[in-house]
Structure 1
Amino acid sequence: MLAGELGRFLDGGWIVGNGVSALDPAARRVAFVTAGAGAGIGSAIVRELASENWDVVITDAHERRVGELASELSAAFDREFLGIHLDVTDYDAVGRAIAVAIEWRGGIDGLVNSAGWNKLEPLIEMSRETWQRTLDVDLTGSFNCMRQILPVMINRGGGSVVNISSIAAWETSTEHGAAYSAAKAGVLALTRVAAAEVGQYGIRVNAIAPGLIFNDFLTKVYPQEFFDGYAERRSRVGRVGRPEDVGALAAFLMGEKAGYITGEVYGISGGVLPNA
């Protein structure tokens, strides 16, 4: 079922629900989440934010998944969710999605950049297309959203941004690929500079750097023995990460209890590669 079959159309997005917001307008918090409808980290973040009474704008490059998740959450929480089909590499499309979100709830208070893409190729064999596509999604996509949402937050009097990076940003390894590692390192630099620039406006910017996080998609790529071996050999807590681990941390960083935290990078790898 597509998003369009689930709710009311709003100039580029689909509102799913009964017209009810999480809170009254004076206390409303609106979160804009990219890649929010997949099987992994993005949807876990959306679910956690929804459980903490955020009004969530769910964006994803997969339209069907956007509609399905918005419908599921609307039924579970008995309130509206906004779903938008979005390619974060398209700057103008990001701008249109932001306009729809503002029309829906009047502004944006939180942004989570969780869109990611990778194709593992050795550097000496890597195509220019792989290099460019990886940077476009993993780094430029975050810029596209931050560049256009930060001014909205300034007008709102503050906000919070959480960027999803990776331990690949500082790990010496062939497991991730040069393009992915470079892009995720760029996300860390973008996070720190943005935090320095917009702190004066009451906006906090932080990053999360996950290690191996299990999701259903990875089971199609790796056998179960891969995950079991990883947990036994590398994890200090005896298991691989779960999307919910990242979702809980992201929701904390988005909220008021993290009000003194900005410009930070939080590794979440089960102790595999701590961030010094």
Structure 2
Amino acid sequence: MLLEGKSIVVTGGNSGIGKAIVLAMAAEGANVVVDYVAHEDATEQLIRQVEAAGGKAVGVEADISRSDDLHRMMQTAVDSFGRLDVLVNNAGIETRQSLLDTTEEDYEKVMAVNMKSAFFASQAAAKRFIEQGDGGLVLNISSVHEDWPMPGNIAYCVSKGGMRMLTRTAGVELGQHGIRMVNIAPGAVDTPINASTTSNEDLLGKLQDAIPLHRLAEASDIADVAVFLASGRASYMTATTVVVDGGIMQGSVGL
């Protein structure tokens, strides 16, 4: 198993890409802390699913915009499984508003969940990794929109652009400690956050036509890449982004 015995924290881990990462990493032998802010029943069901497959997982309810809750998440991993090896900053939200329409409240909410949480969770994990003395990985679930403008969803794009530079800068800073920082930048993924598109036949068709592989990603497509990056097979990768988009950024040029 690629992740045998590793202790992993996944924020926003009870749905969408986060859930797929939990299942994929547990299937490869990891012990997983599932962070959630709502739907405790979904978290409990996910934990039962992991345990039924022979894995180990625990849930922790936490407000990831609060540093004390983030430290409590890391401590839960240590208390439950003896150490922390990987942090997956997966939780994210969007408002789908333009610059002219975004309120201060909307902006602050997106930045708190997407950017502030990733920054201070990475800090908390890095301090734990340094205490342990044998490195670790922070894996950020970013977006193609860390690079690719999306008019009408500006706060989300700004937050993912910030995550891009967090990964590059912190990856350089932390390399001396054997700590890696890597982003995964998905394109369009068939998850609840994209339900407004996937439930509209015309919109879905246009989106699929813009993707060279002519399909949206499944959450498991992203999770498989996360497993690889968390394994020893990716030990020389840091301070960078892995794009998993079916070619949409290239295929849409000129449209």
TM-score normalized with structure 1 length: 0.84
Q: Which shows bigger deviation, 47-56 or 219-228?
A: 219-228
- Checking the alignment, whether the CA contact within 8 Å between 2:149 and 2:157 is kept in structure 1 is no
Q: Which shows bigger deviation, 85-94 or 124-133?
A: 85-94
- Residues 27-47 of structure 1, C-alpha deviation per residue, up to 9 Å, x if partnerless? 621011101111x11111111
- SS state of the match for residue 111, structure 1? strand
Which of 32, 35, 48 does residue 56 from structure 1 map onto? 32
Aligned to 1:192: 168
Matched, 1:168 2:145: yes
- SS state of the match for residue 265, structure 1? strand
Write the distance in 2 (CA, Å) between the matches of 1:33 and 1:207: 14
Write the distance in 1 (CA, Å) between the matches of 2:186 and 2:203: 18
Letter in 2 for 1:54: A
- Checking the alignment, whether the CA contact within 8 Å between 1:131 and 1:179 is kept in structure 2 is yes
- Checking the alignment, whether the CA contact within 8 Å between 2:150 and 2:157 is kept in structure 1 is no
- Checking the alignment, whether the CA contact within 8 Å between 2:35 and 2:62 is kept in structure 1 is yes
Matched, 1:133 2:113: no
Matched, 1:122 2:95: no
Letter in 2 for 1:245: D
- Checking the alignment, whether the CA contact within 8 Å between 1:28 and 1:55 is kept in structure 2 is yes
Letter in 1 for 2:207: Y
Aligned to 2:253: none
Matched, 1:260 2:236: yes
Q: Which shows bigger deviation, 213-222 or 133-142?
A: 213-222
How far 1:106 sits from its partner (Å)? 1.5
Matched, 1:148 2:124: yes
Write the distance in 2 (CA, Å) between the matches of 1:216 and 1:89: 22
- SS state of the match for residue 95, structure 2? coil
TM-score normalized with structure 2 length: 0.91
How far 1:220 sits from its partner (Å)? 5.2
Write the distance in 1 (CA, Å) between the matches of 2:193 and 2:162: 25
RMSD: 1.8
Aligned to 2:10: 33
Write the distance in 2 (CA, Å) between the matches of 1:247 and 1:52: 11
Letter in 1 for 2:77: A
Letter in 2 for 1:185: G
Aligned to 1:72: 49
- Residues 36-76 of structure 1, C-alpha deviation per residue, up to 9 Å, x if partnerless? 111x1111111110111111111111222221211111112
How far 1:97 sits from its partner (Å)? 2.1
What percentage of residue pairs aligned between the two structures are identical? 28
- Residues 210-232 of structure 1, C-alpha deviation per residue, up to 9 Å, x if partnerless? 11101245335641332232112
Letter in 1 for 2:94: N
Matched, 1:269 2:238: no
Segments of 4+ in structure 1 off by > 4 A? Answer: none
Q: 1:243 to 1:194 in 2, by over 3 A?
A: same
Structure 1 portions without partners, runs of 5+: 1-21
- Checking the alignment, whether the CA contact within 8 Å between 1:89 and 1:137 is kept in structure 2 is yes
- Checking the alignment, whether the CA contact within 8 Å between 1:66 and 1:85 is kept in structure 2 is no
Aligned to 2:65: 89
Q: 1:217 to 1:185 in 2, by over 3 A?
A: closer
1:206-245 superposed matches below 5 A? 206-216=182-192, 218-219=194-195, 222-232=199-209, 234-245=210-221
How far 1:259 sits from its partner (Å)? 0.7
- SS state of the match for residue 53, structure 2? helix
Write the distance in 1 (CA, Å) between the matches of 2:148 and 2:29: 36
- Checking the alignment, whether the CA contact within 8 Å between 1:160 and 1:254 is kept in structure 2 is yes
1:5-20 superposed matches below 5 A? none
Q: 1:200 to 1:246 in 2, by over 3 A?
A: same
Q: Which shows bigger deviation, 66-75 or 187-196?
A: 66-75
Letter in 2 for 1:59: D
